[in-house]
Homo-oligomer: A and B are copies of this chain.
C-alpha cells in the first residue's frame, strides 16, 4: 500500500463533518486537519476524528505544508476562491457540488486547477451509489438496449432555509445539478435542448430570491433521446430520489423509498419508513466517493468526476433557469 494521503477538510457543516469522518475511517488516508470559522466546531470535530490539528481560518488550512489534498465543503459562494488558493499551494482538491453558480467562476477554478496540475474531483456522490453504478453497468452491457428516455426525481423533504443564500436559484443550480449530471452520465449524450417550468407554491419566501420550490424540466439529448426531471422542496414524507432510464429493450429504476427493513402491518395498512435525508440515503456513496478520490490521487488515474463535468451540469441548470424565466425552450451551446 502506498503511504496515507494527508487530507484536510475545509468547512464543517453537515456534509463537511461527514467528509472528515469518512477520511478518518479510510485506511488509505489520514485526517491531517479540519477548518471551520466556528472555533468550537473545528476543535470538537478535530478531536472526534483524531485530526492532527484544526484551523479557524481556511487560508491557514490551505497553507498547512503537511497536506496532500483538501476537501472543500465550504459555502458554494466560497468554492472558487478556495479552489484557487488550494491549487496555488499544489493541493489536490475534492470540492462539493455545485462548484459555483456561474460558468465564469467555474472557468476560473478550472484554470487554476489546470495551471497547478492538481487533481480536482467534484462531489456528485450519486455516481458512486451502488444502485447507480449497477445501472450504468447494465446500460453499458446493453441490458435495456438503447436508452431513449431519462427520468429524474429529486425531492427534499423541506426547504433547508439556512443553507441557501439569497439571490441564487438553488433549485436548478444546487438540487437539480445532480439530475443534470446523472442525465449526461447515464444517457451517454449531452443535453441539446431544455424547457423548464416552475412555481413557488409552498415557500413564498423563495420567490424573493428568484428561486422556486417545484419544477418540471424537459430535456432533449443530442442523440435524440428525451428526458424529464421534477424537483421539489416539499416531499414531507422524506428524501425522495428516483431515477429511471427507458431503453428500447427494457428499463431501469433506481431509488427506493424504504430505509430500514421493517414493515408494520396494522389496521391502518402496511407501512414502512422512508429515508429522511440525503446523508442517510447516500451514506455509503459518500464513503465510496472519497475512497475513490484518495485512490485515484494516489494512483495518478484521471479523476472520476472532473470540474469539466461539473461545468456541464451547471450549464444545464443555467439553461433551465433561463428557460423558466423566458418561458422558451433553450438550446444548449456546445
Contacts and interface: CB of A to CB of B under 8 A. Distances in A.
Interface of A: 1, 21, 24-25, 27, 47-50, 129-132, 134-135, 138, 143-146, 148-149, 151, 155, 193, 195, 197-199, 201-202, 214-220, 224-228, 230, 232, 234-238, 240, 246, 248-274, 327-329
A216 B235 contact: no
A148 B155 CA distance: 13
A159 to B, nearest CB: 12
Contacts of A50: 27
Nearest to A130: B260
A12 to B, nearest CB: 15
Contacts of A264: 138, 143-144, 250-252
Taking each of A50, A249, A257, A264, which has the highest tally of chain B beta carbons within 10 Å of its own beta carbon?
Answer: A264
Contacts of A262: 131-132, 134-135, 138, 252-254
Contacts of A240: 251, 265
For the complex of A and B, 5 pairs with smallest distance between CB atoms? A250-B266, A25-B25, A131-B261, A237-B265, A131-B260
Contacts of A48: 1, 27
A273 B270 contact: yes
Contacts of A327: 329
Contacts of A328: 328-329
A34 to B, nearest CB: 13
B226 A199 contact: yes
A144 B268 CA distance: 11
B250 A267 contact: yes
B267 A269 contact: no
Nearest to A258: B270
A146 to B, nearest CB: 8
A204 to B, nearest CB: 12
Given A271-B268, A273-B269, A234 B261 contact: no
A228 B216 contact: yes
Contacts of A130: 259-260
Given A269-B272, A329-B195, A148 B202 contact: yes
A64 B217 CA distance: 53
A199 B225 contact: yes
Given A146-B201, A228-B230, 4 more contacts: A149-B216, A230-B246, A250-B264, A254-B262
B214 A216 contact: no
Nearest to A196: B218
Contacts of A329: 195, 327-329
A198 B197 CA distance: 17
A265 B238 contact: yes
